[in-house]
């Protein structure tokens, strides 16, 4: 995860999301709609959990995904898959 700038100082969430958006566009060459969806889901994750991306744990991610799974798995499985894809891109690839 690239949560620091070139001077090795932490960046705020807005700047982090801008850099993630650029990463999706340039490095991954995702379609505009995919980029928009990924950024939206990460923004929602950060807003709902109110967690600091610098101190986040795997357990925090799993708890969030479990919550979404309980809400969306039956009626809207594609929503869960969209969120999972965004989280993987952000926390694994970025």
Using DSSP's 3-state secondary structure scheme, residue 4 falls into: strand
Q: Which residues pair with 34 in a beta bridge?
A: none
13-93 under CATH 1.10.150, yes or no: yes
- pLDDT higher than 80, residue 8: no
Question: Is the per-residue pLDDT at 64 higher than 60?
Answer: yes
Q: What is the predicted pLDDT for the residue at 51?
A: 85
How many CB atoms neighbour CB 2 within 10 A?
Answer: 10
Q: What is the mean pLDDT of residues 9-24?
A: 88
> 20-46 pLDDT, tens per residue?
999 999 999 999 999 999 999 999 999
Cβ-contact 94, 11 below 8 angstroms: no
Task: Count CB neighbours of 86 within 10 A.
Answer: 23
Whether the pLDDT of residue 10 is over 90: the answer is no
CB count in 10 Å sphere of residue 17: 18
């Amino acid at each position: 995860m690239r949560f620091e700038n070139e001077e090795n100082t932490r960046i705020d969430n807005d700047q982090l999301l801008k850099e993630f958006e650029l990463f999706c566009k340039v490095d991954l060459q995702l379609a505009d709609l995919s980029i928009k969806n990924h950024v939206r889901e990460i923004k929602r994750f950060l807003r709902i959990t109110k967690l600091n991306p610098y101190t986040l744990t795997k357990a925090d991610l799993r708890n969030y995904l479990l919550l979404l799974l309980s809400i969306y798995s039956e009626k809207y499985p594609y929503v869960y898959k969209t969120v999972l894809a965004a989280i993987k891109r952000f926390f694994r690839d970025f």
